[in-house]
Amino acid sequence: MSKPAEDPEVLPGLIDFLERTFPEAPRPLAPNTSLPNSVLDDSLSYLEVVMFLEKEFGLSFEARDLEGAAFETPSAIADLAKRKLRESR
């Protein structure tokens, strides 16, 4: 874990990670950009995002955390991370 993250730091760090890791991501990547079938196009890409969140913010995820619209947009992913941060406090 690099440092305790405050809620406002999640989205900018996530967008930076997505732009660096997925060169096909549209630029600039907006908080409401749809990610499935474009940036996140296979299970490995989802796994990369989960591993980033776990490493960067010290989070742990369960399968139920990753269901539904949790990975629809950068904003949705950041909301999930912020919720997990609040739960871990």
Per-residue pLDDT of 44-62, as tens digits, reads 999 999 999 999 999 999 9
In this structure, is residue 69 part of a structural domain? Answer: yes
Contacts of 39 (CB under 8 A, 6+ apart): 18, 22, 24, 25, 26, 29, 33, 45
Helix, strand, or coil (residue 40): strand
Check which CATH number belongs to the domain holding 54 and give it: 1.10.1200.10
In this structure, is residue 1 part of a structural domain? Answer: no
What does the pLDDT read at residue 6? 43
Domain that includes residue 44, residue range: 7-88
What does the pLDDT read at residue 9? 84
In this structure, is residue 14 part of a structural domain? Answer: yes
